[in-house]
Amino acid sequence: GNSVTQMEGPVTLSEEAFLTINCTYTATGYPSLFWYVQYPGEGLQLLLKATKADDKGSNKGFEATYRKETTSFHLEKGSVQVSDSAVYFCALGTSYGKLTFGQGTILTVHP
């Protein structure tokens, strides 16, 4: 079946540090890949997505590239801010409607 594995967390960084959150997946067919972000006390918001191999999704300085050969969709940001502190979820979508989520990675950024 489909599955998503995210790097072990939590992740703690200083402001302006480089961020990588690893995500790998197992899926049949050709899934779309997503990163969602959950700020404290809020629901999930779509951060970025990629629908086919080699696509790069980007938003708010975050980027992730759909790598079919390594079945990965790692999230990166060159310089994090305190306001980026949140929980980040990698997800894949194949069949109509359903998303399969990773376990989430808690990011804390200190000034």
Binding site for other proteins (CB under 8 A): 4, 32, 34, 36, 42-46, 49, 51, 89, 93, 96-99, 101-104
Shortest Å, Cβ 20 to other proteins: 19
Helix (DSSP H) and strand (DSSP E) numbers for the chain:
0, 12
C-beta closer to other proteins: residue 17 or 85 = 85
The rounded distance, in Å, linking the Cα atoms of 57 and 34 is 9
Shortest Å, Cβ 108 to other proteins: 16
DSSP for 18-39, please give it.
-EEE-EEEE-SS--EEEEEEE-
Mention every residue, 6+ apart, whose C-beta is less than 8 A from residue 98. Answer: none
The rounded distance, in Å, linking the Cα atoms of 19 and 43 is 22
C-beta closer to other proteins: residue 18 or 39 = 39
Shortest Å, Cβ 104 to other proteins: 5
C-beta closer to other proteins: residue 4 or 80 = 4
